[in-house]
């Protein structure tokens, strides 16, 4: 699957181009605005990497704010 005509948010720049995904991973980033049967045209929209929020507030009836050496 290729996403084309996108504003790609990269670590050091925002670049117009295409991004190809194969087997669930980014396989290619290109400044070329390519098009094929498996292309989605983003019409200049921004495309950013997915961010996963890994924080938690507790578990098993406990809150992380009550942490102490006695509870370990």
Residue 49: pLDDT band with limits 50, 70, 90: confident
Evaluate if residue 7 carries a pLDDT over 70: yes
| Distances from the Cα of 21 to the Cα of 14, 39, 67, angstroms | 19, 10, 42
| Between 70 and 18, the higher pLDDT residue | 18
Q: Which domains does the chain have, with CATH numbers?
A: 1-48 (2.30.40.10)
CB contact at 8 A, 34 and 18: yes
- Write the pLDDT tens digit of every residue in 9-46: 998 999 999 999 999 889 999 998 777 778 999 999 99
pTM of the model: 0.65
Evaluate if residue 71 carries a pLDDT over 60: no
């Amino acid at each position: 699957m290729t996403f084309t005509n996108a504003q790609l948010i990269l670590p050091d720049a925002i670049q117009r181009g295409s991004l190809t995904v194969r087997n669930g991973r980014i396989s290619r980033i290109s400044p070329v605005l390519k098009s094929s049967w498996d292309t989605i045209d983003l019409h200049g929209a921004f495309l950013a990497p997915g961010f996963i929020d890994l924080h938690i507030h507790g578990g098993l009836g406990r809150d992380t704010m009550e942490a102490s050496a006695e509870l370990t």
